[in-house]
Amino acid sequence: MSDLTAYVDQFAADNLPDENNLPEFIHDFPELQYPGKLNAASQLLDKNIAAGRGDKIAIRTPHESWTYREVFEKSNQIAHVLVEDMGLATGNRVLLRSANNPMMVACWFAVLKAGGIAVATMPLLRARDLIPVITKAEVSHGLCDVRLAEELENAKVPFLKQLYYFNGRDDKLDNLMKDKPVDFEPVDTAARDIALIAFTSGTTGNPKGTMHYHQDIMSMCHCVGDRLLGIGEDDVIIGSPPLAFTFGLGALLAFPFHAGASTVLLEMGTPDVYLKSIERFRATWSFTAPTAYRAMLANAADHDLSCLKACVSAGEHLPLPTFNAWEAATGLRLIDGIGATEMIHIFISAAGDDIRPGATGRPIAGYQACIMDQDCNPLPAGRVGRLAVKGPTGCKYLNDDRQSVYVRDGWNVTGDAYKMDEDGYFWFQARDDDMIVSSGYNIGGPEVEEALMDHPAVAECAVVAAPDADRGQIVKAFILLTAGYEGGDDLIKELQAFVKQAIAPYKYPRAISFVDNLPKTETGKIQRFVLRQRELNI
């Protein structure tokens, strides 16, 4: 850790990977050359006040609006509460629990201003999910929406000594804030002080704590918000990912505040609510997962979406049928992007005329990528291998032996199987653990999913490997049917024949199960590991 650190509590620095296990960091354009001292909250929020945007609406919700000045003043009051009433020391970890709403934003800014480390958690996590997070990060303080109190109180973790609630008429944080000054001098943190610990969303069943510097937050703004997307102060951003998910943190907090734009926060982002909110708030940018875009297709024509100028899809692979259907319905080509909690946000994408349907894109400004074999040797164009990336951000697990698996020879190895074409576009094949080996054939589950989703009977699907005595593994599809269709042997045969006509016949799903729902994380990612475990009776 740099001698510039502002932290008294050195827990985060002491639990960083050693230098030999850190990825190589690249800062190859001027905005990424950071001074020794940097506080991301000051850069994202306080600069808007200095720029004269105090009276501009920063946050809109279906029920209220907050100006930049209101966010600024409330975050300062919360920072005073953290320091003066809760005894926060710089470097302490602060648990944040809330749906997407203005107080969650104010609390996040307050933690960083006060020199704390934000540990935001998904609203739907239960006590058993919260216990390992609080324990591993040794969280000492917490700010929680009172509506989420029950699970946190059930967790009963001794580390968590100071816990205040908000968004209630008589809750402690709300009451203490009222009498606090509206000014607060942000702690002069180092650019490489840890600002947040984000826990992975659980698609592999064993979440990890990923640590990010103050400068990492700014890097995603410069690389994604500015260079890739070009978000400006006249934009209105809407999205469904939770602020506790780094995709949501960037899309709904960091990017709009960095640009001086407005953000729309929805506590419940159902397809109907989302479409109505785009129309009501005249959103210009949308950020959500492929499953959400697909779910909105049925009613998209009933809403005026002409305000949208671009839509970003991330969080999981974007199937080509979803890309095509959204363009047909709205005239907009989805901007696909792959990111990772380990990398904080998107690192491969394409926008505008650079979009190549079906491809994720190319490394965005500031990042490099390649395809590697199992021995970390680079592979030529056209060969399927492991995606590796490096740039201004990178994996820094909190005291986790898996650091040496994710970081190899300075590269972040993401766990995705990809191939790169001659033009440098990257094409998703599967997650490493979604590759199915059947009778010696390597079959990417997502390719089978895309073929199935072209059939009108398929609303959603997930494809995994199922054990088989003769072939080792077979392709098995779990399918959620479109309204009006009924599962049965005839439909199974029809779907199998349909896939055989679309892709190589040996890739067809030899087993199909019709289901009422698919297991998902709170961010909308399908938890295929749950389905694999079911097949293995784990």
At 269-322, the pLDDT tens digits run 899 999 999 999 999 999 998 888 988 999 999 999 999 999 999 988 898 989
The mean pLDDT of the chain is 93
Is residue 456 predicted with pLDDT exceeding 90? yes
Which residue in 124, 158, 159 sits closest to 244, CA to CA?
124
Extended strands (E) in 290-395:
310-313, 335-339, 346-349, 362-363, 368-372, 385-390
At residue 204, the pLDDT reads: 46
Looking at the domain that runs over 439-536, which CATH code has it been given? 3.30.300.30
Is residue 420 predicted with pLDDT exceeding 90? yes
Is residue 107 predicted with pLDDT exceeding 60? yes
Least confident of 414-423, 461-470, 508-517: 461-470
At residue 1, the pLDDT reads: 43
Please give the average per-residue pLDDT across 261-273, as a whole number: 95
Q: Pinpoint the alpha helices (H) of 114-148.
A: 127-136
Angle at the Cα of 208 from the Cα atoms of 204 and 213, rounded to 5 degrees:
135
At residue 538, the pLDDT reads: 55
Please give the average per-residue pLDDT across 134-141, as a whole number: 96
194: tokens are 């840890």
Question: Is the separation of the CB atoms in 412 and 394 below 8 Å?
Answer: yes
16: tokens are 């960083």
Which residue in 458, 467, 448 sits closest to 509, CA to CA?
448
In one-letter notation, the amino acid at residue 478 is F
Please give the average per-residue pLDDT across 139-161, as a whole number: 93
Q: What is the pTM of this model?
A: 0.86
Angle at the Cα of 77 from the Cα atoms of 75 and 83, rounded to 5 degrees:
100
| Partners of 437 in beta bridges | 442
More confident residue, 472 or 492: 492
Is residue 226 predicted with pLDDT exceeding 50? yes
Other residues' Cβ atoms within 10 Å of the Cβ of residue 150? 11
Percent of the chain with pLDDT over 70: 98
Is residue 504 predicted with pLDDT exceeding 90? no
Q: Pinpoint the alpha helices (H) of 331-453.
A: 403-406, 445-453
Place of tokens 């698609």: 203
Q: Residue 461 — φ and ψ, nearest 5°? A: -155, 160
Is residue 205 predicted with pLDDT exceeding 60? no
Place of tokens 């009977």: 457
DSSP 205: S
Which of the four pLDDT bands, split at 50, 70 and 90, describes residue 203?
very low
More confident residue, 49 or 1: 49
Question: Can you tell me the distance from the alpha carbon of 436 to that of 431, in angstroms, rounded to the nearest whole number?
Answer: 10
Please give the average per-residue pLDDT across 473-492, as a whole number: 95
